[in-house]
């Protein structure tokens, strides 16, 4: 990898989207989700009636794994605390985890994304006023998976998950664009 890709967006965002790790374009530009999967994520955000600049986008890993392979456990262990610190600073209304590694880290679950998606969960981001500070998490498929499996079923599942994320934040649900 050539540079860190820390994350970008609104530090007071209501929604944080968490991916897996920077890919090649992200490594070149220093920005998360700017390749083909990034275009899809931007479309998902817009379908929710939001602008990309209004949300915050980050990854579990802050540096590109060789050949875009799946993050290894020691890498997640080293980078994970930075993600949790980012989330604790932003304190969003909802965290949308994109794919397996982000969902596994925040939910601490060994189940696969196919089992976990669409089911609202919660993550504790420290303590506020003496009580644990919890934020809802909505797991969904990674946009790269969606691009590889661009079926009526998968698109419907992702849209359903995004609607639930909007509901959790108390936001209106726009009509489905496509």
If the CB atoms of residues 23 and 136 are measured against ligand URA, the closer one turns out to be 23
If the CB atoms of residues 102 and 166 are measured against ligand URA, the closer one turns out to be 102
DSSP 92: -
If the CB atoms of residues 46 and 176 are measured against ligand URA, the closer one turns out to be 46
Binding site for ligand URA (CB under 6 A): 19-23, 26, 32-33, 35, 37-38, 59, 144
- Looking up tokens 């209106």 gives 172
Q: Which residue has the closest beta carbon to ligand URA?
A: 19
Shortest distance (Å) from residue 19 CB to ligand URA: 3
Shortest distance (Å) from residue 83 CB to ligand URA: 12
Per DSSP (E only), the strands in 12-141 are: 15-19, 56-59, 94-98, 121-128, 131-140
- Looking up tokens 């920005």 gives 31
Shortest distance (Å) from residue 60 CB to ligand URA: 8
Q: How many whole angstroms separate alpha carbon 40 and alpha carbon 89?
A: 26
DSSP 9: E
If the CB atoms of residues 7 and 136 are measured against ligand URA, the closer one turns out to be 7
Q: How many whole angstroms separate alpha carbon 48 and alpha carbon 69?
A: 30
If the CB atoms of residues 98 and 131 are measured against ligand URA, the closer one turns out to be 98
Shortest distance (Å) from residue 51 CB to ligand URA: 18
Which residues face 96 on adjacent strands? Answer: 17, 138
Shortest distance (Å) from residue 23 CB to ligand URA: 4
Q: How many whole angstroms separate alpha carbon 81 and alpha carbon 30?
A: 20
């Amino acid at each position: 990898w050539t540079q860190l890709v820390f994350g970008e967006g609104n530090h007071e965002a209501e929604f944080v989207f968490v991916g897996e790790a920077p890919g090649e374009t992200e490594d070149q530009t220093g920005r998360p989700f700017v390749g083909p999967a990034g275009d899809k994520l931007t479309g998902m955000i817009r379908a929710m009636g939001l602008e990309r600049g209004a949300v915050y986008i980050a990854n579990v890993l802050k540096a590109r794994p060789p050949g875009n392979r799946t993050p290894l456990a020691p890498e997640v262990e080293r980078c994970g605390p930075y993600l949790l610190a980012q989330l604790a600073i932003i304190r969003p209304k909802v965290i949308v985890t994109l794919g397996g590694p982000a969902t596994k880290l925040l939910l601490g679950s060994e189940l696969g994304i196919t089992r976990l998606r669409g089911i609202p969960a919660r993550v504790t981001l420290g303590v506020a006023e003496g009580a644990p500070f919890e934020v809802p998490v909505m797991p969904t498929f990674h946009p790269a998976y969606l691009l590889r499996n661009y079926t009526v079923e998968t698109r419907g599942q992702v849209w359903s998950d995004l609607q639930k994320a909007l509901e959790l934040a108390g936001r209106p649900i726009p009509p489905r664009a496509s």
